[in-house]
Amino acid sequence: MAKKCVVVGLSGGVDSSLSAKLLKDEGHEVIGLFMKNWDEENEAGFCPVEEDQKDVIRVASTLEIPYYTVNYAKEYKEKVFDTFLEGLKKGLTPNPDLLCNREIKFNALLKTAQNLGAEFLATGHYCRRDLDGRLLKGIDPYKDQSYFLAQVPSSALQKALFPIGSLHKPAVREMAKMGGLATHAKKDSTGICFIGNKNFKKFIQNYIPSTQGHFYDLESKQKIASHEGACFYTIGERARISGHDAPYFVAKKEENAVFVVKGGNHPLLYTSNVQVSNPFWIHDTPDWTRTYTAKIRYRQQDQECKLIKGENGLLVEFKEPQRAVTPGQFAVFYDGDVCLGSAIID
């Protein structure tokens, strides 16, 4: 690729750090942008964003590239966090990471990059794209992040670069170490970005008050215990209900009622037919006569399926029954290494 002006979204982690280094080594003009999407401190009065920003400063200094901080807290709250809360209130389990990539990184951040005169926006995602703007899986099957970009349009992907998409994680750390990057051994961030290591229930109670409800045995319909709100539970997780001969798992939610079954592999935790809505196709519309694969959660193995258009949206018929299909999450569809797009599980 001819030498370009490239903005790199620097998060303070090793992946984006090495992405910036690789582009600099190729001779591109590289500018770092550090995003602040959340202003609130955690319970200990310490904002982890400050530590990430210090790491960005260290990396930018090592690479001798300029860096700027951009604040998208308002956009994030309106387009990601508020949507997340509304979903929880409806009994869903939303995935804010896909919304963040669609609305913030590959929309707001991309526009900022273009305003700075950049021709491309680069990120540290483990994925790839082709020249036509199709999204491809990352080479490392354990780190592939195409799932999280399955709501990003082809027009944005054509302006995106993924410098580490063809690398495995151990190689990324080794190359970062050899390059003198301070982030080479930094732990990967996990969990929802605005919650981090906080207690999920305690955090959400700041926004959604506890509402007492009950657990019911899905088979007998018998009331067996009380809880503080259905929004704190997701399909497939173990329900902490004491005094029974076997553990209960969440199988279904209706308003503030949580229905549970005994045993983590109970047949009622599985289904082969999944109704989805608002399908989004990144580049190509599927051939409805073909068989594809799908993931109903990140890092799941690809599952063979057929996509059937119906009056109420799209029906996904899986070859094998799927455990803990969760309303509000995204089903992401693939044709081999090509990520076709996604839809919301109803």
Q: Rounded to an integer, what distance in angstroms lies between the CA atom of residue 144 and that of residue 165?
A: 8
Q: Rounded to an integer, what distance in angstroms lies between the CA atom of residue 335 and that of residue 7?
A: 30
Q: For strand 338-345 and strand 330-335, is the pairing parallel, antiparallel, or unpaired?
A: antiparallel
- Choosing from 100, 127, 305, 339, the catalytic residue is 100
For the four alpha carbons of 40, 44, 46 and 49, in that order, the dihedral sign comes to negative
Tokens 């539970």 sit on residue: 233
- Choosing from 5, 127, 193, 339, the catalytic residue is 193
Q: Rounded to an integer, what distance in angstroms lies between the CA atom of residue 74 and that of residue 87?
A: 19
Instruction: Identify the CA nearest to 180 among candidates 7, 10, 20, 27.
Output: 20
The question of whether 100 is a catalytic residue gets the answer: yes
- The contacts of residue 243 (CB under 8 Å, 6+ apart) are none
Tokens 């944005």 sit on residue: 156
Q: CB burial class (10 A; 0-12, 13-18, 19+) of residue 1?
A: exposed
State which H helix or E strand residue 222 sits in: none
Residue 95's φ and ψ, nearest 5 degrees, are -115, 100
Q: How many helical (H) and strand (E) elements, i.e. helices and strands, does the chain have?
A: 9, 18
Q: Decide: 268 and 280 in contact? Cβ < 8 Å.
A: no
Q: Rounded to an integer, what distance in angstroms lies between the CA atom of residue 212 and that of residue 252?
A: 17
For the four alpha carbons of 262, 267, 272 and 275, in that order, the dihedral sign comes to negative
Q: Rounded to an integer, what distance in angstroms lies between the CA atom of residue 182 and that of residue 58?
A: 7
Q: Decide: 126 and 138 in contact? Cβ < 8 Å.
A: yes
Q: Which residues are catalytic?
A: 100, 193
